[in-house]
Amino acid sequence: MHLDLFGRKHRIYVEEAGEGTPLLCLHTAGADGRQYRALMNDERVTRRHRVIAFDMPWHGKSSPPSGWHNEEYQLTSAHYTTMILDIMTALELDRPILIGCSIGGRIALHLALEHPQAFRAIIGLQAGAHVDPYYDLNFLHRPDVHGGEVCAAIVSGLVGPDAPDAERWETLWHYMQGGPGVFKGDLYFYKLDGDIRGRVTQIDTSRCPLFLLSGEYDYSCTPEETLAVAKSIPGSEVTIMKGLGHFPMSENPQEFLKHLLPVLEKIKGR
């Protein structure tokens, strides 16, 4: 899809499957839309939902915009919000259900606060209001450390212990394939720019239902952090998913669907 974003020409790669209520999927930092491959291939989801996942610019098959070679990529809350809303407009999506994981879960909170009318419901996976940096992010992008290897190694422990090997290692492969500095640029949003601690309490779930699902083994956005966010937002519904980690839809789709399908049923009933 060709699209002008932030005043620049972009080519955005979009995948979709199924028919029905649009379900717009946001991938994690440093990865791409393949994380939602299982949702797109599960008839229980696709028979009632049009599942759509796009690769953010710089990610997956969405190349960076012309001129990228002299820039440092940094994702901001403003760009992330604009990107999602502009892609929704371009795809003519009418009040989709939004599902986002990690950075996608964080921006889901921003959207729940600032654009509740644009969504039928919002599902935040591994959604916390803020994460403090806990290692030197420069290690993710420097010539004497292999970017793909280190990005995957940084996140490998975020996969839950029960993930099937095939799904675990595919999830990590996506990280190994990220472009130089892209994971780091996404983390600028996750750890610095996207801090929403002071404002989450203003989210009005009567305008847009909010569901928060977090994996037990996520030490980046811990269950405690998700529970704290849920507690501060009246009307939000929270689930802690046993045995799962930071990439539920990708690391262990079958377990994740046990938690997601009831949420989709609830949204349908509203």
Partner 1 sequence: MIEALKARVNGDEALVRRGRFLTTTFLLEVGQTGWLISIFEGRVMSVTSGPFVTPSSSFALRAPEQEWEKFWSSRPPPGSNDLMALIKRRVLKAEGNLQIFMANLRYFKEALAKLRSAGEAA
Q: Which residues bind partner 1 (CB under 8 A)?
A: 134-136, 139, 144-146, 149-150, 152-154, 156-158, 161, 216-220, 222-223
Minimum distance from residue 222 beta carbon to partner 1 (Å): 8
Query: What helix, strand, coil percent values describe the chain, rounded to 5?
Result: 45, 15, 40
Helix, coil or strand: residue 89:
helix
Minimum distance from residue 5 beta carbon to partner 1 (Å): 33
CB closer to partner 1 out of 4 and 149: 149
CA atoms of 219 and 223, how far apart (whole Å):
8
CB closer to partner 1 out of 117 and 138: 138
CA 66 to mean position of chain CA atoms: 25
CB closer to partner 1 out of 209 and 223: 223
Minimum distance from residue 145 beta carbon to partner 1 (Å): 5
Minimum distance from residue 150 beta carbon to partner 1 (Å): 6
CB closer to partner 1 out of 6 and 219: 219
CA atoms of 129 and 191, how far apart (whole Å):
10
Minimum distance from residue 59 beta carbon to partner 1 (Å): 22
CA atoms of 18 and 8, how far apart (whole Å):
31
CB closer to partner 1 out of 143 and 198: 143
Residue 155 contacts residue 251 (beta carbons within 8 Å): no
Minimum distance from residue 102 beta carbon to partner 1 (Å): 14
CB closer to partner 1 out of 16 and 218: 218
Q: Which residue spans within 42-120 are E strands per DSSP?
A: 49-54, 97-101
Q: How far is CA 172 from CA 93, 139, 156, 244, in A?
A: 31, 17, 7, 15
CA atoms of 186 and 29, how far apart (whole Å):
5
